[in-house]
Structure 1
Amino acid sequence: MTGEQDDLEAQFAQWRQYVRRRRELRQTDTDELEDHLRGSVEELRAAGLRADEAFLVAVKRMGSLDELAREFAREHSERLWKQLVLTGGTDDPAVGGRPRRELLAMVLCAVGAAVSVKVPELFGADFERDGAFYGPNAGLLVLPWLAAFLAWRRRAGRVVVGVLLALFALGAVAANAYPLAEDSQSVVLTSIHLLIALWFAVGVAYVADDPRSPRRRMDFVRFTGEWFVYYVLIALGGGVLTVFVFGTFETIGASPEDFVGRWLLPCGAAGAVVVAGWLVEAKQSVVENIAPVLTRLFTPLFTAVLLAFLVTYGVTGGGIDVEREALILFDLLLAVVLGLLLYSISARDPLAPPGPFDKLQLALVVSALAIDVLVLLAITGRITEYGTTPNKAAALGENVILLANLAWSAWLLLGMVRRRAPFAALERWQTNYLPVYAGWAWVVALVFPPLFGFL
């Protein structure tokens, strides 16, 4: 009976995740719908149905959730407008109070991030000359403010706040405790991996309301994709603003180059990190329609590119160049593939049956897995012949981690396409694997510099 109840609760969890993606439904609406569904399930179980049968029949009785969401949107259309514009001009604290507080908190954190990138100049640092300082410290100057905003919004407890402080303090040690020369390989590795590690620290703030929930981890994956979309849009808008600044000021004989280079670009880029996070939180119903479309657009394109590469590799028989630029390129390629997989999983209806897009994803993952094996063979061959370097060791570890993820993901996708494994298994695998990436990023940032003699 316990196993049957666990399976039933897993089905309820999938149903809740699907419902919560309908941003036009409030939390109270979701709770009411779930109470109604649970009541129907209990009635059907009392009538003699098994738990899984009762759940399916109860869901069918409730009708199409998409139709239900549209009905809510029609009856409560003012909710949609309040999600798309800043609320104001109302005395109802339940409607207008919290959005105004969130706006104020966002502005304070964005200003804090913008100021933080200028503080090092008070101690003689220069953005153009001191790359060895700004590279590893970029995340430390900006991401704590985004984490602070999310922790405030989630009403994080003392334990979570303590964990965040410890993680960012550890990041400060990794960025500044080692004597790294500006042309050191470890500077680049630390800059990249510490930024990744600190982004997962932001994830701790994001899931502060339910740290152990796999659903919240997948929500953070979706937040990451949506944040990236918003940040790119803000950057494009900032580029247009910069063009107008140059054009207008130069007409009166004034050159804004120094202001743009020293103030507008660094401060704007830092503040936009927090603004993008706030936009994702405040306007999720808008970007939720954009990011899945981008995922479905680029998944077939990347699949075609990877298959074309494998065919060309087989025809030409040429080896893979494993110099630093090539390693970074392949790791980025595999990271993009993993990102497409993760985000499509986060945006997928967990109750939907397998379809053509799932088969396309399987082809994408299998292609990436084959390329990962080729890269690993090339790296191990070069290490065996010429010895290891920080870049090669980091690439080796990352490709092994990606190999394990992609291999099991391919197996789970195959089972799902063949209707022999549930979608929930793939989702659990990805959410449980996220700490592995964070752990490896910390290892590279903290252990690699002294391990390789600060090379």
Structure 2
Amino acid sequence: MDISKLIIENIANPHELERMYRKEPETFKKSISCALGKKPDSQVLTVWYERLYFKEPANTEKASLLQKDFLSMGILAILAGISTRIILHFAEQQAIAPINLAFGILPFMATYFLYNNTPKKNVLYTLASLFLLSVFYLNMLPLEHKDSIILAYLHLPIFLWVLLGLAFTGNEYGLGSTRLAYLKFNGEFCILYTSMAISGMLLTLLTMQLFRFVGMDIAEFYFRNVVLFGAAALAIVATYLVSRNLKLAKNIAPSIAKIFSPLVLATLLVYLITVVWVGKNPFLDRDFLISFNGILLSVLAVTIFSITESGKDEKKNISDYINFSLIVLALIINSVALSAIAFRLSSFGITPNRLAVLGVNILIWANLIWIMISYVRFLQNKTGSPTIQAAVTKYLPVYGIWAAFVTFTFPLIFH
């Protein structure tokens, strides 16, 4: 039987029309226009026709903006690649410190954010002056392997990361939701960048192997020019893709957070039990204390990543209890590390390394306490999950201030 006749016969039966459409959508779509030709006054058939044949009018303005955005990304990616290669050249000549490679990428990422979300002049001038001050100050430091200078090199990326966050948030730098969006951007950026970098590594291996077949070893040239350029440019490309709401990273990030949190918790529990069993002592073993602090930073990063990807669901689930357990374990580790650092300071005196580690441990301890209190209130149904996220986002500038303090003052204090 002609489906158009069935459509007309069931014109007053929406359930049957929906069933027919789901059973044979393409045939139904072709028959609906025929049915409408026989019953042009039918509002039901008119609605179905519009539903099946509706086309969004071309938005030339949006397409133009997209092309403009893509063009700016391409230019910044090329500039980042060229700048990074030039910086590497001077670093190899030992004219500048290798940490300058950060300036081959982060300023261009900041420029991309500023270009697509122009902030007020005070934010723009603050960012420009702080980036320029960082470049100037860093390269005024002597190229020596002193503890204070190495600490400045280690803390500079943290300070620049906070500056990048200011570029991302723009005029809304004070809003918790915008800071949370920046943290989510970082998680999605890392996932996407890693995925594309793995593909690039496979392409690199294939390329070098192909040239080996013809008796040419291009490894050194390829890594110094193509791989380095691509790694820097890829950061801008990944920034563009995440900013354009790429579904891949946004769909994967919450799943990774849910999978890794329990794995990290289980691993950490086994590790701590093993540490107690073998009798390792962070008070006397310097290397073990350093690894202890590395574990602390890793747990903090995983916890924050999991919190930022948890969404605004007010209902408690197993992930919340896992996160709370991670925070408690991190606090235990942090407390032991603080005690060990205080012991070493009182026993062996003040050094730049001990003072820097003490400072960052105090900051992390305070942040963990805040997050833990927020989590307790959430688990007791006294507050919602945004309170926990606020405990994370409001504390971000503190890390930036401490990183700036170590970067700009330690080389002067401990010269």
TM range (shorter): 0.7 to 0.9
* Alignment match, 1:93: 60
CA distance in 1: counterparts of 2:54 and 2:123, whole angstroms: 37
Alignment of 1:221-232 (within 5 A): 221-232=183-194
Q: Which residue of 2 aligns with 1:105?
A: 72
**Residues 121-172 of structure 1: CA deviation (Å, up to 9, x unaligned):** 6xx7243x6396112x122222100000011111223222111101201211
Q: CA deviation at 1:120?
A: 3.7
| Structure 2 residue corresponding to 1:114, chosen from 72, 78, 81 | 81
Amino acid at match of 2:131: F
Which of these residues, 108, 133, 139, is aligned with residue 97 of structure 2?
A: 133
Query: How far apart, in 1, do the equivalents of 2:308 and 2:287 lie?
Result: 31
Residue 236 in 1 paired to residue 198 in 2?
Answer: yes
**Aligned twin of 1:189:** 151
CA contact (8 A) 1:218 1:346 kept: yes
For residues 44-66 of structure 1, give each alpha carbon's deviation from its aligned partner in whole angstroms, at most 9, with x where no partner exists: xxxxxxxxxxxxxxxxxxxxxxx
Q: Which amino acid aligns with 1:211?
A: Y
Number of the residue aligned with 2:310:
348
Cα distance change of structure 1 residues 215 and 385 upon mapping to structure 2, 3 Å threshold = same
How many angstroms does 1:261 deviate by? 2.6
Q: Distance in 2 between matches of 1:335 and 1:76?
A: 55
Letter of the structure 2 residue corresponding to residue 348 of structure 1: S
Residues 329-369 of structure 1: CA deviation (Å, up to 9, x unaligned): 33332223222222222222324312221111111100011
Q: Sort the Cα spacing of 1:174 and 1:372 in 2 relative to 1 into closer, same or farther, 3 A.
A: farther
Q: For residue 425 of structure 1, what is the aligned residue in structure 2?
A: 387
Hey, what does 1:280 align to over in structure 2? Answer: 242
Question: 1:60 matched to which residue of 2?
Answer: none
Determine if the alignment matches structure 1 residue 378 to structure 2 residue 340: yes
Contact 2:87 2:104 survives alignment (8 Å): no
- 1:56-75 aligned within 5 A: none
Partner in structure 1 of residue 365 of structure 2: 403
How far is the alpha carbon of 1:323 from its aligned partner?
6.7
Which secondary structure does the structure 1 equivalent of 2:90 belong to? coil
> Does the C-alpha gap of structure 1 residues 413 and 76 become closer, same or farther in structure 2, counting only changes over 3 Å?
farther
Residue 387 of structure 1 deviates from its aligned partner by 1.7
RMSD (Å) for aligned C-alpha atoms: 2.5
Corresponding residue of 1:178? 141
CA distance in 1: counterparts of 2:383 and 2:347, whole angstroms: 43
Aligned partner of 1:164 among 101, 117, 127: 127
Please say if residues 109 and 236 of structure 2, whose CA atoms lie closer than 8 Å, have aligned partners that are also in contact. Answer: yes
**Once the 2 structures are TM-superposed, how far is the Cα of residue 327 of structure 1 from its aligned partner?**
5.0
Runs of 4+ in structure 1 over 4 Å off: 74-79, 321-328
TM-superposed CA distance for 1:321, in Å, is: 6.5
Instruction: Indicate the SS of the match to 2:97.
Output: helix
Deviation, 1:76, is 12
1:200 and 1:438 in contact (8 A); partners too: yes
Deviations 1:77-129 (A, max 9, x none): 999xxxxxxxxxx96323321221111111111111111123346xx7243x6
Instruction: Give the TM-score normalised by the residue count of structure 2.
Output: 0.81
Structure 1 residue runs without a partner (length 5+): 1-73, 80-89
TM-score (norm 1): 0.75
Moved more, 302-311 or 146-155: 302-311
Maintained 8 Å contact 2:90/2:96: no
One-letter amino acid of the structure 2 residue matched with residue 112 of structure 1: L
Distance 1:126 1:447, change over 3 A: closer
Change (3 A) 1:233 1:191: farther
CA distance in structure 1 between the partners assigned to 2:309 and 2:404 by the alignment: 28
Instruction: Report matched runs for 1:296-311 at 5 Å.
Output: 296-311=258-273
In the TM superposition, residue 322 of structure 1 has moved relative to its aligned partner by: 7.1
Structural mapping, 1:27-46, within 5 Å: none
Change (3 A) 1:245 1:370: same
Is the CA contact (8 Å cut-off) linking 1:180 and 1:186 kept in structure 2? no
Structure with greater Cα Rg: 2
- Residue in structure 2 matched with residue 436 of structure 1 by the alignment: 398
Partner Cα distance (1:200, 1:76) in 2: 49
Instruction: Structure 2: state its 5+ residue gaps.
Output: 1-50
Q: Are 1:338 and 2:290 matched, yes or no?
A: no
Aligned identity (percent) is 28
